[in-house]
Chains A and B, each alone.
Chain A
Amino acid sequence: MIGSLYIGGDSLLHRQPAWRKLLVLFAAGIVLFVVQAPEILAGAAVAAAAILATVRPPLRALRRQLTGVAIILAAIFAANAVFADWGTAFAMLFRLSTLVLLALAVTMTTRTSDMLEVVERVLQPLERTGLVNAARVSLAVSLAIRFVPEIFARYREIRDAQAARGLAGNPVALIVPLVVRTLKSAEEIAAAIDARGFEGAHPSGSASGRTGRQGGTAS
């Protein structure tokens, strides 16, 4: 599920600014929870599917994204059908489907960096309180999106290597090398970010450069 879902393209949705898409998604979320009628919600789900179709998502990616969600939705539907009634169950099913389809349409057409720019802007007022560093939050989010697939790949690699040595199913043999490798990469990634001059790492910018220029003797 995690990992960038962005799919390049030039659809109408691709060309919308990220803030507009996120705002509409947010508003849709509120409206969907106010509306109760299953018929209207069914219409919304169909509309959401149509919107997603305009993005022309590759079917393989779509199936991968939707199978897990479908299982969860089926479970929620069943629970509602048993504990509430069919009307509630269908309303919930269509409501959540609409949201998932819309969210997918947004994430498939919006670059992570554009989405994070919106997040950074929304966080800016909080930044003034000194509790949050927006640039750092957004870097952390993009790092997570960037490296979760790598960690999964590494997990599979180590699992196969251990299986080849007859250690299949031994959780220690799996977790220890995974943690070690991940920590080692974390160190390297941090160095790479530093080397590229990420200044958000120094809140208010005082730690490096801007205020400390007293050492200007020739080399």
Chain B
Amino acid sequence: MLEGVSVVRDGRAILDSVDLTLRERRIAVLGPNGSGKSTLVRLLNGLVTPSKGRVAVDGHDTAKDAALVRRRVGFVFQNPENQIVFPIVSEDLAFGLKHLKLPKAELHRRVLEALERFGIGHLAERQSHTLSGGERQLVALAAVMVMKPALVVFDEPTTLLDLRNRNRIRAAITEMPESAIVVSHDLDLVRDFDRAIVIDQGRVVRDDRPGPAIDWYRAHFG
């Protein structure tokens, strides 16, 4: 869905003529720090728009139809601190749903359903700033999933978490039926994926099954 995409900032190409069609159910994006991974995945929901080329999701150009694209593509960021925007957890999940003008009972039901899916129904009435890092990341994930996106992009979702919380997020990603594109240094998480893309200096340098891609990545950057 990316055609000849370049992203130029301050006269420098952060991404350089990238062509990719992403259809697999589980795709990993690997690469060293600063290689352009975040920029690549931010293209997928129009947070970044290409300087050259075109990005489309299900035929919708991300530069023109950002709102439409964002309804299909959910996004979970690295830092769990900055994704929850409402003071109470259940309010945060209701935030996106508000536009859908659902009846109150239906809205409440969907909020609880999304929280329970990740085993955090008990956090519904908690104040956001009292949550632990792992709880925050699960809430952020629930807040994305409550909108029922077809695809969820994760940008290093486990990097800032401790081992136990990392395992909870890993399990959540592994078990969800939706498609996922995951930027991660967590090679154990992505080993069973369908495809792995390695980025270096703004270019796709390897595009393969995770096994060989990880070996190649280790050999070149390990």
**Complex Cα gap A198–B140 (Å):** 15
Q: Among the listed A8, A192, A210, which residue makes an inter-chain contact with B125, where contact means beta carbons less than 8 Å apart?
A: A8
Judge whether B64 is part of the interface by a CB distance below 8 angstroms: yes
Q: Which residue of A lies closest to B65 (CB)?
A: A209
In the assembled complex, the Cα of A192 lies from the Cα of B64 at a distance in Å of 19
Asked if A56 is an interface residue, CB under 8 A from chain B, the answer is no
Minimum distance in angstroms from B69 CB to a CB of chain A: 8
Q: Is the CB of A3 within 8 A of B47?
A: no
Across the interface, do B88 and A4 meet the contact criterion of CB distance under 8 Å?
Answer: yes
| Contact digits for A1-23, partner B, Cβ 8 Å, 1 yes 0 no | 00110101000000000000000
Residues of B within 8 Å of A199, CB to CB, are 67, 99
> A196 and B95 in contact (CB under 8 A), knowing A6-B88, A146-B86, A150-B129?
yes
CB-based contact A195/B75 at 8 Å: yes
The residues of B that contact A142 with a CB separation of less than 8 Å are 85-87, 91
Name the segment of A46-54, A84-92, A183-191 touching the other chain.
A183-191
User: A208 near B: Cβ within 8 Å?
Assistant: yes
**A215→B50 CA distance, assembly (Å):** 15
Query: Judging by beta carbons under 8 Å apart, are B87 and A215 in contact?
Result: no
Say whether B129 contacts A149, CB under 8 Å.
yes
Query: Quick check: B86 and A191 within 8 Å, CB to CB?
Result: no
The yes or no answer to A113 lying at the interface (CB within 8 A) is: yes
CB of A113 within 8 A of CB of B47, answer no
Q: Evaluate contact between A111 and B59: CB separation under 8 angstroms.
A: no
A196:B86 contact, CB within 8 angstroms? no
Assuming the contacts A149-B129, A196-B70, A209-B65, asked whether A219 and B56 have C-beta atoms less than 8 A apart, the reply is: yes
Inter-chain contacts of A193 with B (CB < 8 A): 85
> Do the beta carbons of B59 and A192 come within 8 Å of each other?
no
Q: Compute how far the CA of A137 lies from the CA of B180 in the bound complex, rounded to whole angstroms.
A: 34
Contacts of B51-96 to chain A: CB distance below 8 A: 56-61, 63-68, 70-71, 74-75, 77, 79, 81-88, 91, 94-96
List of B residues within 8 angstroms of A127 by Cβ:
none
Residue A216 is within 8 A (CB to CB) of chain B in the complex: yes
Question: Looking across the interface, which residue of chain B has its beta carbon closest to that of A139?
Answer: B85
B58 touches A146 (CB 8 A): no
* Any A CB within 8 A of the CB of B45: yes
**Distance A150 CA – B79 CA, assembled complex (angstroms):** 14
B63 shortest CB reach to chain A, Å:
8
Within 8 Å by CB of A188, from B79, B125, B144, lies B79
* B interface residue count range (under 10 / 10 to 19 / 20 to 34 / 35 or more): 35 or more
Which chain A residues numbered 124 to 169 have a C-beta less than 8 Å away from chain B? 139, 142-143, 145-146, 149-150, 153
CA of A149 to CA of B129 in the docked complex: distance in angstroms? 7
Collect the chain A residues with CB atoms within 8 Å of residue B42's CB.
Answer: 191
Whether A153 and B129, one on each chain, are in contact in the complex, defined by CB atoms closer than 8 angstroms, is: yes
Assembly CA distance A198 to B45 (angstroms): 13
A137 to chain B, nearest CB (A): 14
Determine whether the beta carbon of B64 is less than 8 Å from that of A112: no
A209 interface neighbour in B66, B83, B144, B147, Cβ under 8 Å: B66
Tell me the bound Cα distance from A49 to B147 in angstroms. Answer: 42
Choice from A111, A195, A212 contacting B88 with Cβ under 8 Å: A111
A68 interface residue per 8 A CB criterion: no
Contacts of B82-135 to chain A: CB distance below 8 A? 82-88, 91, 94-96, 99, 125, 127-129
The reply to whether the CB of B18 lies closer than 8 angstroms to some CB of chain A is no
Give the nearest-CB partner of A191 in chain B. B47
Nearest 4 pairs of A and B residues by beta carbon:
A209-B67, A4-B87, A215-B61, A219-B56
Query: What is the interface of chain B, defined by CB distance below 8 A to chain A?
Result: 1, 3, 21, 42, 45, 47, 56-61, 63-68, 70-71, 74-75, 77, 79, 81-88, 91, 94-96, 99, 125, 127-129, 140, 143-144, 147
Chain A residues engaging chain B, CB cutoff 8 angstroms: 3-4, 6, 8, 111-113, 139, 142-143, 145-146, 149-150, 153, 185, 188-189, 191-199, 208-210, 212-219
Inter-chain pairs besides A149-B127, A194-B70, A217-B56, 10 sampled, C-beta below 8 Å: A6-B88, A113-B88, A142-B85, A185-B81, A189-B83, A192-B77, A196-B143, A212-B65, A215-B56, A215-B60
15 contacts between A and B (CB under 8 A): A3-B127, A112-B87, A153-B129, A185-B79, A192-B75, A192-B82, A194-B70, A197-B71, A197-B147, A208-B67, A209-B67, A212-B65, A216-B59, A218-B59, A219-B57
